[in-house]
Amino acid sequence: MATIVLAHGAWSASWAWKKMRPLLAQAGHTFFSPTYTGLGERAHLMRPDIDLDTHITDVVNVLEFEDLTDVTLFGHSYGGMVATGVADRARGRIRRVVYIDAFAPKDGQSLFDLVGPKAEANMRAGAAKDGEGWKLPVNTMPPDTAPEDVAWATPRRRPQPLKTFEQRIKLTSTEPPPPRAFIYAQRKGPGDVFRQFLDRANSEPGWKGYEIDASHNPHITCPNEFMALLTRIMAET
């Protein structure tokens, strides 16, 4: 049994993990899924100055106010940026970090640094055209997402604050990082930016790499298979 805290993906929120909650509960885990400032049920707090630090603080505050320790920290997609910052700031509370098809930055890197200049330019153009210059328009879900899931998720997704992708992470802890696992979703189209982190997980000490036959949102598209893999990871790290 584990205490699990989620750092969710961009444009998303706690609601996206609806299918996973009963599975995690049945396994005896305690699951916290805070929504970042400006997204989901906190969309009314959206403002131009929200950055990566804001979202890191959102999750760190849950750890501190709930007095959570021995935490398994999940980071999905953009949430890997957040989880990396949380593990750095609250090292003593974290047992392991599980990156789920997620960005795994090193000190001084932003999400824009990790996706490359072409993707950055496209996203900035979208923000300039449809996001008042500071909001990244909602992206599309993977093509294998079931129509009923697309219909359920689409009205709940919200624009992402641009500064969350611009800000470079600052890592200051002098303690060794916790054990880290990386789950790579195999069903990728052109422009795959996540393979680099699986390669890192398979080559650097302190990491373990895993793969799943799924697209980018296994918590939505294949929750049972995803739960089985999470169970394996928590037994092995």
pLDDT in tens, 137-157: 999 999 999 999 999 999 999
Is 77 part of the annotated catalytic residue set? yes
Report the pLDDT averaged over residues 33-52: 98
**pLDDT, mean of residues 68-93:** 98
Q: How does DSSP classify residue 133?
A: T
Alpha helices by DSSP H, the chain: 20-26, 52-65, 79-89, 111-115, 117-130, 147-153, 163-166, 195-201, 218-221, 223-236
Residue 166 reports pLDDT greater than 90: yes
Q: To which H or E segment does residue 212 belong?
A: strand 207-212
State the catalytic residue, choosing from 77, 110, 173, 203.
Answer: 77
DSSP state of 168: P
Task: Give residue 189's pLDDT.
Answer: 83
What tokens were used for 168?
């470079």
Q: How confident is the model at residue 200 (pLDDT cuts 50, 70, 90)?
A: very high
Instruction: For each of the domains in the chain, give its residue range(s) and CATH number, in order of start.
Output: 3-236 (3.40.50.1820)
Report the alpha-carbon distance of residue 21 to residue 127 in Å, rounded: 33
- Helix spans in 90-157 (H): 111-115, 117-130, 147-153
Check pLDDT > 90 for residue 179. yes
pLDDT grade for 190, boundaries at 50, 70 and 90: confident
Whole-angstrom distance, CA of residue 76 vs CA of residue 78: 6
> Phi and psi dihedrals of 134, rounded to 5?
-135, 5
Specify the amino acid at residue 64. Answer: E
Mean pLDDT across the chain = 97
pLDDT tens digits, 116-127: 999 999 999 999
Tell me what pLDDT residue 236 has: 95
Burial class (CB in 10 A: 0-12, 13-18, 19+), 34: buried
Secondary structure of residue 234 in the 3-state scheme: helix
